[in-house]
Structure 1
Amino acid sequence: MDSKLTADRLPHRRHRLAIALSAGLLLSAGAMTGCSEDRATNAEKTPLGQQASPGGAYATIEDGEVIARINGSPLYRENLEVVKENLGAEVPEERLVSRMVELRLLADRAREEGLDRDPQTQARIQNAIDNQLANAYLVNYMTEMEVSEADVEAAYDKEMEALGKETQYRAMHILVEDEQTARDLIAQLDDGADFGELAQEHSKDTGSGEAGGDLGWFSLDQMVEPFADAVGALEPGQRADEPVETRFGWHIVQLEETRPMPKPTLEQMRPELEDRARRDAINGMIAELRDSANVEILTSDVRSMVERDDDADTQTDSQASNQADNASGESAEAPAAEAGDESDMGSLPAEPLKAMP
């Protein structure tokens, strides 16, 4: 269906795997403001501060291959490979190594000036550590996770039961700028003019206009509400007596036919169903971690924020459940999802060095 009518609010039928890791957002926090002597002293009292020192050694990578030493500190091939992987682009290795050397020198200078003891800097470092470890755990968790065929088939049967209650519509329309033009065309149709010819000649929606106004098959929730309401009120073969106004203009609407929502095959829906199972498993695992953890919120303002977030999560879960129950799916005529489209880990936060070059 090639038409401007498709609403921006169209529910996306294929849910991408979303992993809520707020630590990922913290990696892009604003630049650090100055570092006073008092702040550095306070930082030393924190657990991270007690472990740090101005000239602190870099972590050793077990069994890592040292490819360079910078003022005595090792640079490993693993450092280089991780950055190459994160960049996702072809960058000459010599340039990359040169930039990593510069990065290390700048980090050393920051230590010399005591910036590693600044509370905000230490917080960013701790967030980065938590973020990377959480990512590593989730990647490993998903790698080891197996979605059973029985679970996929059960989820598919539930989807098909919901689809059986939905209807698709095939309609024609002519879109014009103003109400008077629409009424003039309706008068011509009442006098026996051909709908398709008028659509080809007058419709602003050139996509459907070239097809004689034919919009193809759609579900009502794919269309803006005034238009969807008008289509839903018609019987097959009936044309609306009044023009319909939407944000696109004025429409002359005619319903051609209806049919039950076509059911996609199990293989077409498999990527979505498997990802949904993984998402549910991850959410369940995280919920278990929270339930078994001893979490103390020590300040009232943070406690209220956590409570608001929990309420928002509950509402989001409820809305997602309702959307899944009411989802109409994609037409059996639609192509299956591209391999890997639904199961990538693109939603995981990126490495801090993502944009280094």
Structure 2
Amino acid sequence: MNMYRQMGLVAAGLCLTASVFAAQPVVLLESGNVKVTDADVRAELSGAPAGVADRTLANPEALTRLAKAIASRRMLVQQAQQSGLANKPEIKTQLRINEERLLSEARMEQFDNEHKPDAKAIDDYARSAYKSNPKAFEVPADTHVRHILVEGDTSEAKAKADKLVAELKAGADFEKLAKEQSDDKGSAENGGDLGFAPAGRFVPEFEKAMKGLTKKGEISAPVKTQFGWHVIQFVERRPARVLPYEEVAERMRGEATKRLLNRKRLEYSNELIKDAKLHEDAIKSVAATAAQPAKK
């Protein structure tokens, strides 16, 4: 056999072996006959919100807590089995219901994957929903400003604010000064940017000064509030308006996908039980019994 071919086969064999070993679960915790592996942890996190699983797996402390919780639960299960709890009718019923719930939810997820609406159906539904309820997309007038905060109610604080106004009117860069001088550390990182805000978002003194600004780049005189002295820069003002479809399209398509899938789910569920026979007398009997006041 050709030497290079032999080497290729050996390399392929090594890769296969490595992949097999890599697939083996890693034991994270052992206690008696209880073992918790990384596969157990991943299964536990499978229903977690996006990002939670990755953050937990990447955090040794969180991973340890979860492994301990799984081990503790398994030991409790063993005790329940040994004590006969698992054989109680009500426990068996609850176990069966939990199994049915898990399997039915898994089947519906599978159904969703099999019946995903196409892009056109999603967009058509989203646009129709947008057009049918324009009031839902109305937004009030809002204003975009930046500010620099000088904390304090002293003459020194006021003097510093006056100095900043003078520097800005002389041509200093607002965002640079905000990053260097503002005591509002949250907005300072973004050059003092407060983004767009509707009326009523800020304290009254700030709101009044902001309303008086009309030209892009205009700088206010120092404004006194409970937080200290503010220097405000006007960026932009937008009138009340209806958000265009393009601005809400992603959200609308997400909602449309859910609604279309839910509609298909309902149709499928109704189809499954279309031949079901209701025992109305039994239903009325159970309802009547439940409606009776409990005996003291």
TM-score bracket for this pair, using the shorter chain length: 0.3 to 0.5
The TM-score normalised by the length of structure 1 is 0.39
Using CA pairs under 8 Å that are at least 6 residues apart, name the structure with larger relative contact order, 1 or 2. Answer: 1
The TM-score normalised by the length of structure 2 is 0.45
